Structure 1
Amino acid sequence: MWFIVVYFLIVLFVIEIAVVLMWATGLEYPIARFQVVSLLTGTGFTTSESELILGHPVRRRVGIFLILFGAFSLAVVISCISTVLAPDFHLLPLSIGAGILFAILVVLRLPATKRYLSERLTRAFQQTFELQELSIDEVLLCEEGDAFVDVPIGKRSRLAGQTLDQVCKELKDLNVLLIKRGTVTIRDARMHTPLEAGDVLYIYGNEAEIERRFAGELADKKSMETDEKHAASLL
Structure 2
Amino acid sequence: MWFIVTYFAIVLLVIEIAVVLMRSTGLKYDIARFQVISLLTSTGFTTKESELVLGHPVRRRLGMFLILFGVFSFAVIISSISSILAPDLRISYLAVIPVVLALLLVVLKLPMTQPLLMNKFNLPLERKFEIYELPINDVLLHCEDDAFLDIPVGPKSSLIGHTLDIRLKGDADVNVLFIGRGTETIRKDRLRTRLESGDILYIYGEKEEIDRAFGKELEDKDGMMKDEIKALSWIGRGG
Say yes or no: does 1:14 pair with 2:9: no
In structure 2, runs of 5+ residues without a counterpart are 39-47
The one-letter code sitting in structure 2 at the alignment partner of 1:175 is N
Structure with the higher fraction of residues in helix conformation: 1
Could you say which structure has the larger radius of gyration?
A: 2
Deviation track 1:182-226 (CA, whole Å, cap 9, x = no partner) reads: 343332232222222222212122211211221111111112222
TM-score, L = length of structure 2: 0.61
Distance 1:40 1:57, change over 3 A: closer
Q: Is the 8 A contact 1:149 1:202 kept in 2?
A: yes
1:197 and 2:197 equivalent?
yes
**CA distance in 2 between partners of 1:13 and 1:144 (Å):** 34
Pairing of 1:90-169 with structure 2 (within 5 A): 105=105, 114-115=114-115, 118-119=118-119, 122=122, 124-126=123-125, 128-130=126-128, 132=131, 134-169=134-169
Root-mean-square deviation (CA, aligned residues, Å) is 4.5
The residue matched to 1:125 in structure 2 has which SS?
coil
1:150-198 deviation line (CA, Å, top 9, x unaligned): 2111111111222234432477221112222334333223222222222
Q: Decide whether aligned partners of structure 1 residues 222 and 173 sit closer, same or farther in structure 2, where only a CA change above 3 A counts.
A: same
- In 1, the alpha carbon distance for the partners of 2:165 and 2:224 equals 27
Deviation sequence 1:117-171 (CA, Å, 0-9, x none): 534654x424x21562554334433344222222111111111222234432477
- Which shows bigger deviation, 184-193 or 88-97? 88-97
TM-score if structure 1 supplies the norm length?
Answer: 0.61
Matches within 5 A, 1:1-235: 1-2=1-2, 3-4=4-5, 6-25=7-26, 27=27, 32-37=28-33, 54=49, 57-58=52-53, 87=85, 105=105, 114-115=114-115, 118-119=118-119, 122=122, 124-126=123-125, 128-130=126-128, 132=131, 134-169=134-169, 172-233=172-233, 234-235=235-236
What runs of 5+ residues in structure 1 fail to find an aligned partner? 43-52
Q: Is the 8 A contact 2:151 2:203 kept in 1?
A: yes
Count of aligned positions: 207
**What's the CA shift string for 1:19-43, capped at 9, x where partnerless?**
4313422x5xxxx33444566789x
Name the % identity: 35
